[in-house]
Structure 1
Amino acid sequence: MSTEEVVAAAPQQLTSKASRSERRNLRALSWGHALEWYDWAIFGLLSVYLGAAFFPSDSPLASTLNALAVFAVGFVARPLGGVVFGFVADRFGRRKIMIFAVGAVALGSFIIGVLPDYQSIGVIAPIIVVAARLLQGLSAGVEAPLGTAYALELVPNRPGYVAGFFAFFNNLGNLLAPTSIFLISLLLGPEALAAYGWRIPFIVGGLFGLIVLWLRRTLPETLDTAAIRTVGAIPTKDNSVWRDVRKYWLSVLATVFIVGAIQAYNYTWIAGLPNLANGTFGEDPTAVFAITTGMGVFLTVGAFALSRILDRFPMSRWFVIARIAAIPTIFLALLYSQPGIGTLAGVMFGGAIVLLLNMTIFVVVSNSLLPQHIRGTGLGLGYGLGVAIFGGTASYLLLWLQSQGMMWVFPIYIATLCAISVVLYVLAKRRNGLFVGK
């Protein structure tokens, strides 16, 4: 058995508390995660208004679907960004890549916020929106998977704590998105929100990126730590990284479905159902954003609570239980088949518990399947493909199936993805072992 396999098979000793410096580094990384999730959530939640501004059409549904298609375009760029920048991070270090990633996400958000609409500059407007989403997709493709891998290198003995800590900030980003829109809608009114108020959250996201850049300036580099050298020599040739990625192909494939299944579930809840309510059923937008804000509060507080208990049990056990539980709960979406704000609230909160556990642990679980020296490349590839193929298309697919009277197909599709993710995880774990936790 190789040194790497011995390390993978050996259970890690958990420490009781992260140090002050470890918590400071985690905050610098996780605030960038919060910004990423905030940015992606506001684009999804405001698709109705983005469609009207940049993709005008005689049909409100068509405009919304066009905007959601651009939402999906950002996801298409994520595998490329994950692979390219993940590879650079595996060869030359994590820190500079993480600084670039948050800067690109913030720049794309700011551009969309200040960009003149279609009526002002014509076809150039949607082209620039697509370009901004591509830039964000490239950077987000490495932000989420590499950021968590980086955090596990900084705090190696607390995978559950890292998972909960990052999920808290991820959910905080998701919470701040509907909260900001809700407050703007409440203060300005629905008409002003549609006219210009939707721009404010994008501009705020762009400016907040400057703060995150300042926080990340002091992050230490982890690529040449003793822990990496214990597992194996740092790759010195390009083909050595890809050789090992191919060696762990089953783990990469499992990551595609581990990420893709729960991201499809997640974007159904944070973007698909709210857009169905706003764009198709004509619900009061203030009420819709109030519901999504309430769910965001639950997910944020819940992730903080989970950070305290996840290390008490193996992460593999948490994952299998959480993912199996997601299979029946996705069918709650079928209950919202006609207008009814109370029904929407019940569906949103009914799926929130299962969503909480799955969204807290899925990135750390994916990290656990790959050795440290290829996580940037392997996770960038698996994570990016999973989000692009399944997550980024979920909202569009939900609205399209509903418009065709075939909404019943959607939960079957998500449930199948969840089942496949469990099977592939178990197979990858048996074949390659685990490199984080147990």
Structure 2
Amino acid sequence: MASLHERSATAVRTPLSQRRALLALGGGNAVEWYDWMVYGLLASSIGPQFFPATDGLSSTMSALAVFAVGFAARPLGAIVFGTLADRLGRRLVMLLSIGSMVLTTTVIALLPSHAVIGVWAGVILLACRILQGLSTGIEAPLNSAYIVEMAPEGRTARFGSIISIYVQVGIVAASLVCFLTSEAVGPEAMGDWGWRIPFVIGALGGLFFLWLRRSLPETLHTAADAADPDTAQKPRRTGEVWAEVAHHKLALLTIIFVVAAAQAINYTWTTGLPNLARSAYAEDPSTVFAVTTLSGVVVGALYPLVGRLADRKRISRTFVVTRLAVVPLVFVVLAYQGKGMTTFALVMLVGAPVLAFTMGLYNTVSATLMPASCRVTGVGLGYAVGVAGFGGTAPYVLLWLQDAGAGWAFPVYVAVLCLLSVLLYMLAFRRGSVRAGS
């Protein structure tokens, strides 16, 4: 732990510089999540534009399939950019990540529909989502590693919860902008051209935080390295980084399921249920956006409490207890089996503490499972596999099971993921694989 906080003292010395670093780091993270979530929230509007079909549900499921494919690119992003971050530094990769998101979001905002350029519209959209998957594949694990390396002693979870708040700001902003845009232009125009407006806003916000991130300090090197350039750590070879990741196989497997359970819950509430309400049950789009936004605000308000609790009671103990506690709560999704905005609102709001306790800790927990020398690569790979395999597919699986009359199976599936994550984490903890304040 000493070397970790020596880095923090060198990179971020004062409360003011800590706040600036958190703003640049968290703001960029918020923009990435905003851009990513806007697509999911607008899938029912995007689908008919790029994947024409005989009914709205089929078009929406095609758009959500592209949403899931974007997640499949995350492991590659973790492999490529994670290795660069562990070899050359964190800051360079942060700039590449948000720069890629800005570019692809701009392309989606301006992309002609299927009616204009035919099948190429869907192909280009898919390519953009794959590139965004590469970018987001490294964003969260890189931020988690950076927070663990810059946080003062005893405040790791609290700093991690601040980043989670920024993530929630991005998610809530996506819902709020979609709601306001829908209210301003109307449902018909929203489906025709209004859906492009939230993407334009995201691209502009990304440009600002791309500029702001230029001031972030580097945390890869030790204090001694910074003081003496002649002995500064030289970039390691890629094979050396991956050999170290391979040595921590149990930690990698644990990260996969810690992330898988959290993201399956996350995308169920932030994407799956809203699209189920709009496509399958024909709920009013503006009201759905409003409820989704309110739920997101409640989640964000709970994050600081989660961080303080984890720092006070230990990260490991808080993670295990809260992850087990959310298992019965995921079954609340079974209450929403047909059209009814009141029921939808209740399910979304009951799910708020579920999201807060799962999303508020999982990034920090993941970062504590790998040593600093291969942290971004290991966490990035585990995060990407967990999200691609279980998080990005959750909305599609939810709608598919509901359409097949087996909606009861979905919360069982998520509950099993939660239990596996706890089992693996406890095993890793007993074998000494957990570090940094746990």
Candidates 61, 68, 74, aligned match of 1:72? 68
Instruction: Tell me the distance in 2 between the aligned counterparts of 1:148 and 1:341.
Output: 36
Aligned to 1:131: 127
| Cα deviation code 1:16-53 (max 9, x no counterpart) | x9711011111101111101111121111100011011
- Cα 1:18–1:43, aligned 2, differ >3 Å: closer, same or farther? farther
Matches within 5 A, 1:156-305: 156-157=152-153, 158-226=155-223, 236-305=236-305
Q: Is the 8 A contact 2:50 2:121 kept in 1?
A: yes
The answer to whether the aligner puts 1:102 opposite 2:72 as a matched pair is no
Aligned to 1:338: 338
Task: Give the secondary structure class of the aligned counterpart of 1:120.
Answer: helix
Aligned to 2:229: none
Candidates 64, 73, 79, aligned match of 1:83? 79
Q: Is the 8 A contact 1:34 1:172 kept in 2?
A: yes
Candidates 5, 26, 46, aligned match of 1:30? 26
1:374 to partner: Cα distance? 0.5
Q: Is the 8 A contact 2:164 2:360 kept in 1?
A: yes
Instruction: Tell me the distance in 2 between the aligned counterparts of 1:404 and 1:361.
Output: 34
Aligned to 1:21: 17
- Give the aligned residue type for 2:196: R
- Cα 1:69–1:312, aligned 2, differ >3 Å: closer, same or farther? same
Instruction: Tell me the distance in 2 between the aligned counterparts of 1:227 and 1:166.
Output: 28
Aligned to 1:420: 420
- Give the aligned residue type for 1:266: N
Instruction: Tell me the distance in 2 between the aligned counterparts of 1:369 and 1:279.
Output: 40
1:247 to partner: Cα distance? 1.2
| Cα deviation code 1:392-420 (max 9, x no counterpart) | 00000000111110111111100000000
1:305 to partner: Cα distance? 4.3
TM-score by length of 2: 0.93
Q: Is the 8 A contact 2:296 2:352 kept in 1?
A: no
Aligned to 1:58: 54
Instruction: Tell me the distance in 1 between the aligned counterparts of 2:224 and 2:82.
Output: 19
| Cα deviation code 1:271-320 (max 9, x no counterpart) | 00000000010001111111001011111222244445542220111111
Which range moved further: 80-89 or 145-154? 145-154
Instruction: Tell me the distance in 2 between the aligned counterparts of 1:228 and 1:51.
Output: 52
Which range moved further: 33-42 or 255-264? 33-42
Task: Give the secondary structure class of the aligned counterpart of 1:217.
Answer: helix
Q: Is the 8 A contact 2:176 2:290 kept in 1?
A: yes
Instruction: Tell me the distance in 1 between the aligned counterparts of 2:235 and 2:189.
Output: 55
- Give the aligned residue type for 2:101: V
Instruction: Tell me the distance in 1 between the aligned counterparts of 2:343 and 2:300.
Output: 23
Instruction: Tell me the distance in 1 between the aligned counterparts of 2:54 and 2:93.
Output: 43
1:87 to partner: Cα distance? 0.5
Q: Is the 8 A contact 2:307 2:361 kept in 1?
A: no
Q: Is the 8 A contact 2:176 2:289 kept in 1?
A: yes
Aligned to 1:119: 115
Q: Is the 8 A contact 2:306 2:361 kept in 1?
A: no
Instruction: Tell me the distance in 2 between the aligned counterparts of 1:26 and 1:207.
Output: 20
Instruction: Tell me the distance in 2 between the aligned counterparts of 1:218 and 1:69.
Output: 37
- Give the aligned residue type for 1:61: L
- Give the aligned residue type for 1:322: T
Instruction: Tell me the distance in 1 between the aligned counterparts of 2:425 and 2:240.
Output: 24
Instruction: Tell me the distance in 2 between the aligned counterparts of 1:319 and 1:79.
Output: 25
Q: Is the 8 A contact 2:108 2:128 kept in 1?
A: yes
Q: What is the aligned-residue identity percentage? A: 48
1:7 to partner: Cα distance? 8.0
Which range moved further: 337-346 or 184-193? 184-193
Which range moved further: 129-138 or 188-197? 188-197
The answer to whether the aligner puts 1:152 opposite 2:148 as a matched pair is yes
Matched length: 426
Aligned to 2:326: 326
Instruction: Tell me the distance in 1 between the aligned counterparts of 2:313 and 2:403.
Output: 44
- Give the alignment's Cα RMSD to 1 decimal: 2.1
Q: Is the 8 A contact 1:78 1:137 kept in 2?
A: yes
| Cα deviation code 1:151-172 (max 9, x no counterpart) | 2222242211211110110000
Which range moved further: 386-395 or 17-26? 17-26
Instruction: Tell me the distance in 1 between the aligned counterparts of 2:362 and 2:14.
Output: 21
Q: Is the 8 A contact 1:184 1:197 kept in 2?
A: yes
Instruction: Tell me the distance in 2 between the aligned counterparts of 1:420 and 1:309.
Output: 23
1:124 to partner: Cα distance? 0.7
The answer to whether the aligner puts 1:43 opposite 2:17 as a matched pair is no
Q: Which runs of at least 4 in structure 1 moved beyond 4 Å after TM superposition?
A: none
Q: Is the 8 A contact 2:306 2:356 kept in 1?
A: no
| Cα deviation code 1:316-361 (max 9, x no counterpart) | 1111112111211111111100100000011111111121121011
Aligned to 2:230: none
1:237 to partner: Cα distance? 3.1
1:240 to partner: Cα distance? 2.1
Matches within 5 A, 1:375-386: 375-386=375-386
Candidates 129, 137, 152, aligned match of 1:141? 137
Instruction: Tell me the distance in 2 between the aligned counterparts of 1:210 and 1:227.
Output: 34
Q: Is the 8 A contact 2:309 2:318 kept in 1?
A: no
Q: Is the 8 A contact 2:147 2:160 kept in 1?
A: no
Instruction: Tell me the distance in 2 between the aligned counterparts of 1:308 and 1:39.
Output: 29
